[in-house]
Amino acid sequence: MANKRIVMYTRKGCDDSYAARAFLRKHDLSFEEIDVEKSPEALEFVMKVNEGKRRTPTFDVDGRTFHCSQFDPRKLARELGLSA
């Protein structure tokens, strides 16, 4: 997992994004965070990969995208290839 580039698209006030951020930090994973409210390009990307929905957090892990809205730690662990 250390070699993978994790980009997390978030927005201010999103409880699911807050929980995902805490999860990544707890597991000592490096990640880049992009606020979709500050980047029109990021918002466009998130909506494109989520069938027109503004779902946060959305992740891009080495070019593979998925969302974790509603936050589910088991899903996020599985998507990131972490052991349970």
Stretch (H or E) spanning 43: helix 40-49
CATH class of the domain at 6-80: alpha beta
Reply yes or no on whether the pLDDT at 84 is more than 70: no
pTM: 0.92
CA–CA gap between residue 71 and residue 45 (Å, rounded): 20
Q: What is the pLDDT of residues 31-83, one digit of tens each?
A: 999 999 999 999 999 999 999 999 999 999 999 999 999 999 999 999 999 87
